[in-house]
């Protein structure tokens, strides 16, 4: 009997050990799907995104909006603040790390895999958390730009339900995006991500203040997103490419006499065309390398893009989502394009012709007066260059007017998606500003056929345009922001002196002159940057799960950022460089110093654009992009135009007649047409010979795919071993239990 009892005790011990092994095996098998549940739900920052309401917004409307966010977007952590300088109410939004990771999975953000799992980038998945490198590091796994982008998408996911209404005046349709609708009616003033002080300080030190040849593109991408990083990568690449026409043009400009210049017109024209072709093709390769490094080179486009906030149309049921969406007849937009937009653009081009003709006549009169009074050197200089400078200023002013005109026309066309709106807007800007910037040069070159006047006009346009553009893009926004902050601070100080101390500690939310905050973490005191606990008060406007606090700390950095101008994207900068690229590629054969002037400007342009992004404008939300989009097509178009213009300038300059004096005019034109076609053939040959994707990138893709397959096989083998071990353990357990039952029986 004692033997049987001891045997049963041993069997029970073995069964307990087997149960532990089975439990450990199960934990190992399920760790990849359950570990995410142990991720911290605490907050690593107090604010990622700021939403401000328009001035004069009623408190009950703000509380209605807050309750909507609490009930329908529970992932958001919300703080209500009263901006004391502007009098606006604002929501400071963030989310816990777990919700941020879940948002990253929904958005398909690509993160690096651990080296033992193949490396490379892959769309993030909560169930495969252990496969990603540093996925549990709350401070570094998600960049601040990705955090704000995730919070913004949580906010934009707020949709209307049946019966929702704003102020009992505007009824929302079920499934209608509320944020865009509230922006269109003026309830929401602005939404922007906040700057992170430490990252911004490091970026300024390495990028704005440092004059390193290489820009910190990876830091720029993590902080501002791929779209802006690609712009600065393109600008740096273009600036580096300008070294060749700058050096060659400077040598020709300094050491070639005017009597030998016609031969060098031919040489410079040919070199300029070869340079522009190689530059454009090399940029495609550089862009592919960068986007592959960033994991976005094969990112698919958004198939379910939400409509624009300003889009107007009739409510119909969407066949894809089944929700009520606004639609607009395509035929009506086509009618507007052909019978209104087209004629208006044509009239604008006629205005360019008339303005150019007027200034050419003014220049002729000024030159005539200068030749009469040639003893006065200052007067001659003034008469020669004043009309040209005035023309450059007028062209810049017309550029601003044409931008407003293009925006108005594109708004009138009522495009549904932001991408459609952007492409049509940029297309109009390219056409209008191309004619506005180059028509006067074409008129001087091919109608007047005055090469000397063309050189003077081109140099004046380049220098004047670059100086005014830098002042307008960098210093003017910075000055506007600082003046606005000064005026708001001055008004706040006056209100502070005139205000009386608050005697009651219980006030309605948003009615105080101090900074109010909604605390969404129940049971946890809100601590500000100075580690002072803010006292709580009750409010009848809030649900019991929230509380209101009064903050007597200084003005927050978010409040200062709210006074900055919003950044509208790099389109204006691209457009400026597009015009400059046209000056260099089309006219450097007659004005070799154009490359030098462009290079000097771009060295300042890079730091100026970096400065305005980090100091003069609000931080933009990150936007993914796998190329520079429509601007790549625009640069290619400029390359084609450069071929035609350079060939035409060779005829106007007389270089062909000097090299081949036996040819008459018709034969010279025929020769130039043949040369033009040969250059186009060479252009296409170079484009075909230079692949867009470098072989090194293809090899890296193949290596990553091989490592991923090997890692997958390893994981499958480990899973199979664990499964077999689990089955054998289960069988052993069943056998031991059966033996114990037989013995006890």
Domain segments of the chain: what residues? 201-297+328-481+565-693
Residue 374 in tokens: 């040639």
Q: What's the pLDDT band for 168 if we cut at 50, 70, 90? A: low
Q: What's the pLDDT band for 154 if we cut at 50, 70, 90? A: very high
If you count them, how many residues does the chain have?
745
Range list of H helices, 310-341: 330-336
Q: Compute how many other C-beta atoms are within 10 angstroms of the C-beta atom of residue 674.
A: 11
CA 705 to chain centre: 30
285/308 Cα distance (integer angstroms): 33
The angle subtended at Cα 147 by Cα 143 and Cα 150, nearest 5°, is 135
CB 127 within 8 A of CB 29: no
Tell me the three state secondary structure of residue 732: helix
723 to 17, 529, 714, 715: CA distances (angstroms): 18, 52, 14, 12
Name beta bridge partners: 437: none
Convert 125-148 to b/e letters by CB count within 10 Å (16 or more is b).
Answer: bbebbebbeebeebeebbbbbbbb
CB 635 within 8 A of CB 225: no
Residue 539 in tokens: 């409010």
542 to 507, 575, 718: CA distances (angstroms): 12, 49, 53
Burial of 225 (0-12, 13-18, 19+ CB in 10 A): buried
The angle subtended at Cα 626 by Cα 236 and Cα 306, nearest 5°, is 125
CB 524 within 8 A of CB 120: no
Mean pLDDT of 356-377: 72
Residue with tokens 């002042």: 471
pLDDT at 192 over 90: yes
Q: Collect all residues with Cβ–Cβ distance below 8 Å to 306 and sequence separation of at least 6.
A: 156, 177, 180
Picking from 264-268, 330-334, 676-680, which range would have the lowest pLDDT averaged per residue?
A: 264-268
Mean pLDDT of 668-675: 86
637 to 311, 679, 691: CA distances (angstroms): 31, 15, 19
What integer pLDDT is reported at residue 507 of this predicted model? Answer: 29
Higher-pLDDT residue of 738 and 81 is: 81
Q: Compute how many other C-beta atoms are within 10 angstroms of the C-beta atom of residue 509.
A: 24
Mean pLDDT of 141-155: 93
Q: What's the pLDDT band for 514 if we cut at 50, 70, 90? A: very low
Picking from 63-67, 137-141, 681-685, 691-695, which range would have the lowest pLDDT averaged per residue?
A: 691-695
Residue with tokens 């730091």: 607
Picking from 303-307, 343-347, 741-745, which range would have the lowest pLDDT averaged per residue?
A: 303-307
In sequence order, what E strands does 443-579 have? 515-519, 536-537, 547-551
Higher-pLDDT residue of 169 and 427 is: 427
Sign of CA dihedral 631, 636, 642, 644: negative
Burial of 717 (0-12, 13-18, 19+ CB in 10 A): exposed
Q: Which residue from 65, 95, 100, 79 is spatially nearest to 178, judged by alpha carbons?
A: 65
pLDDT at 601 over 80: yes
Higher-pLDDT residue of 193 and 416 is: 193
What integer pLDDT is reported at residue 511 of this predicted model? Answer: 32
What integer pLDDT is reported at residue 272 of this predicted model? Answer: 84
Name beta bridge partners: 113: 132
What integer pLDDT is reported at residue 718 of this predicted model? Answer: 72
pLDDT digits (tens, 9 = 90+) for 310-366: 778 777 776 766 666 778 888 888 899 899 999 999 999 899 889 888 888 887 777
pLDDT at 736 over 50: yes
Mean pLDDT of 170-189: 83
Mean pLDDT of 537-547: 37
What integer pLDDT is reported at residue 266 of this predicted model? Answer: 76
592/245 Cα distance (integer angstroms): 8
Residue with tokens 């006629």: 350
Q: Collect all residues with Cβ–Cβ distance below 8 Å to 273 and sequence separation of at least 6.
A: 585, 642, 643, 646, 679, 683
What angle do helix axes 571-587 and 261-293 make, rounded to 10 degrees? Answer: 150
Q: What's the pLDDT band for 231 if we cut at 50, 70, 90? A: very high
What percent of the chain lies above the pLDDT cut of 90? 23
Q: Compute how many other C-beta atoms are within 10 angstroms of the C-beta atom of residue 122.
A: 18
Mean pLDDT of 543-549: 38
pLDDT at 93 over 90: yes
Name beta bridge partners: 327: 314
524/539 Cα distance (integer angstroms): 17
pLDDT at 550 over 70: no
CB 693 within 8 A of CB 291: no
What integer pLDDT is reported at residue 501 of this predicted model? Answer: 43
Q: What's the pLDDT band for 136 if we cut at 50, 70, 90? A: confident
* Alpha carbons within 13 A on the beta-carbon side of 195: 24
pLDDT at 578 over 90: yes
90/82 Cα distance (integer angstroms): 6
CA 190 to chain centre: 17
Convert 644-672 to b/e letters by CB count within 10 Å (16 or more is b).
Answer: ebbbbbbbbbebbbeeeeeeeeeebeebe
CB 566 within 8 A of CB 618: yes
744/295 Cα distance (integer angstroms): 64
pLDDT at 42 over 60: no
**294-303, 325-334, 425-434 — most confident range:** 425-434
In sequence order, what E strands does 401-551 have? 515-519, 536-537, 547-551
182/53 Cα distance (integer angstroms): 10
Q: What's the pLDDT band for 728 if we cut at 50, 70, 90? A: confident
Q: Which residue from 431, 428, 542 is spatially nearest to 78, judged by alpha carbons?
A: 542
Residue 722 in tokens: 């664990």
Cα torsion for 347, 353, 358, 363, to the nearest 10°? Answer: 160
208/203 Cα distance (integer angstroms): 7
Mean pLDDT across the chain, nearest whole number?
Answer: 77
**285-299, 598-612, 646-660 — most confident range:** 598-612
Burial of 375 (0-12, 13-18, 19+ CB in 10 A): exposed
Based on its alpha-carbon atoms, the radius of gyration of the chain, rounded to whole angstroms, reads 33
75/681 Cα distance (integer angstroms): 58
554/569 Cα distance (integer angstroms): 31
Sign of CA dihedral 252, 256, 258, 263: negative
pLDDT at 457 over 50: yes
* Strand bridging mode 314-317 / 324-327: antiparallel
99/154 Cα distance (integer angstroms): 10
Residue with tokens 């400007």: 601
- Write out 421-479 in H/E/C secondary structure: HHHHHHHHHHHHHHHHHHHHHHHHHHHHCCHHHHHHHHHHHHHHHHHHHHHHHHHHHHH
Mean pLDDT of 470-481: 83
């Amino acid at each position: 009997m004692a033997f049987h009892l001891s045997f049963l005790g041993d069997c029970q011990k073995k069964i307990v050990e087997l149960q532990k092994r089975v439990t450990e095996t199960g934990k190992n098998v399920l760790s990849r799907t359950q570990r995410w549940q142990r991720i911290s739900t605490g907050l690593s920052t107090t604010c990622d995104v700021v939403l401000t309401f328009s001035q004069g917004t009623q408190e009950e409307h703000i509380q209605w909006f807050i309750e909507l966010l609490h009930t329908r977007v529970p992932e958001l952590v919300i703080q209500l603040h009263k901006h004391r300088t502007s009098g606006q109410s604002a929501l400071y939004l963030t989310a816990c790390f777990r919700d941020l990771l879940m948002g990253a999975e929904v958005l398909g953000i690509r993160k690096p895999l651990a080296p033992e799992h193949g490396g490379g980038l892959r769309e993030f998945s909560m169930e495969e958390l252990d496969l990603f490198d540093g996925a549990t590091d709350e401070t570094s796994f998600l960049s601040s730009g990705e955090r704000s982008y995730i919070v913004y998408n949580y906010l934009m996911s707020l949709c209307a339900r049946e019966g929702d209404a704003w102020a009992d005046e505007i009824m929302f349709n079920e499934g209608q995006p509320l944020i865009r609708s509230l922006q269109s009616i003026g309830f929401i003033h602005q939404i922007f991500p906040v700057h992170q002080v430490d990252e911004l300080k490091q970026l300024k030190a390495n990028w704005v203040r440092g004059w390193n040849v290489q820009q910190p593109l990876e830091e720029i991408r993590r902080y501002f997103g791929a779209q802006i990083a690609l712009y600065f990568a393109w600008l740096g690449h273009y600036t580096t490419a300008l070294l060749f026409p700058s050096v060659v043009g400077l040598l020709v400009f300094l050491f070639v006499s005017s009597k030998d210049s016609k031969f060098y017109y031919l040489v410079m024209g040919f070199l300029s065309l070869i340079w522009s072709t190689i530059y454009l093709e090399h940029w495609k390769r550089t862009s592919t390398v960068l986007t592959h490094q960033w994991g976005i080179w094969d990112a698919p486009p958004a198939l379910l893009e939400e409509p624009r906030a300003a889009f107007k149309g009739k409510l119909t049921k969407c066949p894809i989502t089944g929700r009520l969406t606004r639609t607009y007849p395509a035929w009506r937009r086509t009618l507007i394009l052909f019978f209104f937009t087209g004629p208006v653009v044509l009239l604008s081009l006629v205005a360019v012709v008339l303005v150019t003709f007027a200034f050419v006549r003014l220049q002729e009169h000024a030159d005539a007066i200068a030749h009469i009074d040639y003893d006065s050197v200052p007067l001659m200089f003034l008469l020669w260059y004043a009309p040209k400078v005035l023309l450059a200023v007028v062209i810049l002013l017309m550029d601003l007017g044409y931008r407003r005109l293009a925006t108005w026309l594109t708004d009138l066309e009522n495009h549904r998606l932001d991408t459609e709106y952007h492409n049509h807007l940029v297309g109009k800007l390219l056409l209008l500003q191309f004619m506005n910037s180059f028509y006067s040069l074409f008129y001087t070159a091919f109608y007047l056929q005055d090469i000397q006047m063309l050189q003077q006009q081109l140099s004046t346009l380049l220098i004047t345009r670059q100086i005014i553009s830098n002042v307008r893009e960098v210093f003017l926004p910075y000055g506007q922001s600082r003046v606005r902050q000064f005026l708001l601070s001055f008004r706040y100080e006056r209100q502070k002196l005139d205000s009386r101390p608050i005697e009651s500690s219980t006030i309605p939310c948003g009615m105080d002159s101090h900074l109010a905050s909604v605390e969404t973490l129940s049971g946890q005191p809100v601590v500000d940057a100075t580690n002072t606990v803010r006292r709580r008060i009750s409010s009848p406007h809030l649900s019991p799960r929230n509380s209101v606090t009064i903050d007597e700390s200084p003005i927050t950095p978010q409040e200062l950022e709210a006074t900055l101008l919003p950044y509208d994207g790099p389109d204006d900068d691209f457009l400026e460089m597009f015009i400059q690229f046209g000056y260099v590629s089309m006219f450097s054969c007659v004005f070799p110093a154009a490359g030098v002037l462009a290079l000097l400007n771009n060295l300042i342009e890079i730091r100026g654009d970096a400065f305005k992004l980090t100091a003069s404008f609000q931080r933009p939300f990150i936007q993914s992009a796998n190329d520079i989009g429509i601007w790549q097509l625009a640069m290619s178009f400029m390359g084609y135009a450069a071929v035609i213009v350079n060939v035409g300038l060779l005829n106007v300059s007389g270089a062909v007649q000097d090299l081949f004096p036996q040819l008459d005019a018709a034969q010279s034109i025929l020769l130039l047409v043949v040369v033009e076609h040969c250059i186009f053939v060479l252009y296409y040959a170079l484009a075909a010979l230079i692949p867009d994707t470098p072989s090194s990138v293809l090899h890296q893709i193949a290596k990553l795919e091989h490592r991923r397959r090997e890692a997958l096989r390893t994981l499958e083998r480990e899973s199979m071993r664990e499964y077999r071990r689990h089955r054998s353990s289960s069988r052993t357990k069943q056998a031991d239990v059966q033996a114990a039952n037989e013995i006890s029986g």
